[in-house]
Amino acid sequence: MLQALSPLDGRYAKVVAPLAVFFSEEALIKARLEVEIRYFIALSQVPEIRELPRVRAREEKLLLQILERFRTKDAEEVKAIESVTKHDVKAAEYWLKRKMEKIRKLSPFLEFVHFALTSEDVNNLAYGLLIHRALRTVILPEAKSLSRQITASGRRWGSVPMLSLTHGQPATPTTVGKEMLVFSDRLDRQIAQLRTFRMQGKLGGAVGNFSAHRAAYPTVDWEKFRKIFVRGLGLIPLTHTTQINPHDDIAELSHILHRIDTILLDCSRDVWMYISRGVFKQRVVAGEVGSSTMPHKVNPIDFENAEGNLGLANALFDHFAAKLPVSRLQRDLSDSTVQRSIGTAFGYHFLAVSSLRKGLGKISLDRSALKKELNDHPEVAAEAIQTVLRKHGVAGAYEKLKKLTRGEKVTKEKLRAFMEGLSLPKGEISRLKGML
């Protein structure tokens, strides 16, 4: 851990551990094996492929047990083969064949493992499986929990008045709750899109035409096979492709997560500024240190950590969306090395969400500070006053309030004296005074 190159695998390893199940090298190897095994079983169910008998229930169970019993030592064996082949997918194929040699009824048919496939047929489906599972198991639940946490704060503080700042200057009052609910509303819209998102799946051989498949079995409806097989993995089948999945799916996902991260970045900065203003207090945790030299400090580190990690995540999501959908002709390998960092982007996103949730759980309202801010800036009632004057047809209403308040030190007494001089119904004047 202390020698880890990435902080995700070192300092923050415990926080992001739930994602390692989906984005580690071991997880990718296992997902490749899952695709190979399910493809082998699917081939055996095609009537025209007479050379491969249908995989029966007992043998299917034994095949799936290879996945169920897959452990780190197995992944290390695959990597040892890769050190010779210099090819990750071929190494997984060879390892799987060795395992299947022990299944007596399947051992004569090992050449149907990875039959007519190119590496990308396996890789893109493996990534699709892993990303779906990570979204369903980790990313979506955490996003929903964060949204509920923000919503709960919004409802709890819904009617608490607070001074607004527009352009950094005192403005018409708002409520703490509404300002929080702005973020949960925005977040929920993106979560809805993330919930319906689906990865695509490419299966079509070396250049996407099923050329090798047709050479061996010209009478098989390979397009129908692809549709059934890819849908069976929970992915959307791609009809026309080059050698690779064009990765528009990862680009779409990156854009959704980028928007989510941008909303959370906005939230992190706003809460940070509310803490700076004294609107929010932070819970003091025994033993924690805020500064190595200033003993009084209670810094908003959770929101700062969230902000920094959201930026890192979005830098990667930006790159995925711009780079992955572009390939030289039918294939180049630059997408492969970039996809290996998908888990890193998810990791920084997840780390940021965890930090933000932790920070939100440590803040409370300082109602006296809220009240003082409003009392110190009675001029913010100017909008309401001039609008009521307009309602009653007072000429130059805006200009009168501008002269009274703009760039001036305004007191409640000064505003009350102004209102007393207005030719308005007494009830209306009383109501305006009540706004101060």
| 183/303 Cα distance (integer angstroms) | 15
Contact 357, 146 (CB under 8 A): yes
Active site residue 327: no
> Alpha-carbon distance 237 to 169, whole Å?
53
Q: Which amino acid is located at 80 in the chain?
A: A
Quote the CA–CA distance of 227 and 224 in Å, as a whole number.
5
**Side chain identity, residue 295:** P
The string of DSSP letters for 76-97 reads HHHHHHHHHHS-HHHHHHHHHH
CA separation, residue 203 to residues 11, 49, 58, 299, 323 (Å): 39, 18, 27, 52, 22
Radius of gyration of the chain (CA): 31
Q: Are strands 169-175 and 200-201 parallel, antiparallel or unpaired?
A: unpaired
Q: Mention every residue, 6+ apart, whose C-beta is less than 8 A from residue 139.
A: 194, 257, 346, 349, 350
Q: Which residue type, as a one-letter code, is found at position 226?
A: R
Given 211, 291, 334, 364, the catalytic residue? 291
Q: How far apart are CA 419 and CA 417, in angstroms?
A: 5
Looking only at the bridges linking them, the beta strands covering 161-166 and 236-237 are unpaired
Catalytic-residue membership of 114? no
Q: What is the DSSP letter of 310?
A: H
- 3-class DSSP assignment, residue 170: strand
Taking each helix axis as running N to C, give the angle between helix 176-196 and helix 140-156, from 0 to 180 degrees, rounded to the nearest 10: 160
In the set 83, 167, 292, 296, the catalytic residue is 167
Q: By the 8 A CB rule, do 242 and 335 touch? A: no
C-alpha 357/C-alpha 141 separation (Å) is 13
Q: Which residues contact 193 (CB under 8 A, 6 or more apart)?
A: 256
Question: In 3D, which of 158, 166, 157 has the Cα closest to residue 380?
Answer: 166
Rounded distance between C-alpha atoms, residue 128 and residue 170, angstroms: 49
User: Which positions are annotated as active-site residues?
Assistant: 167, 291
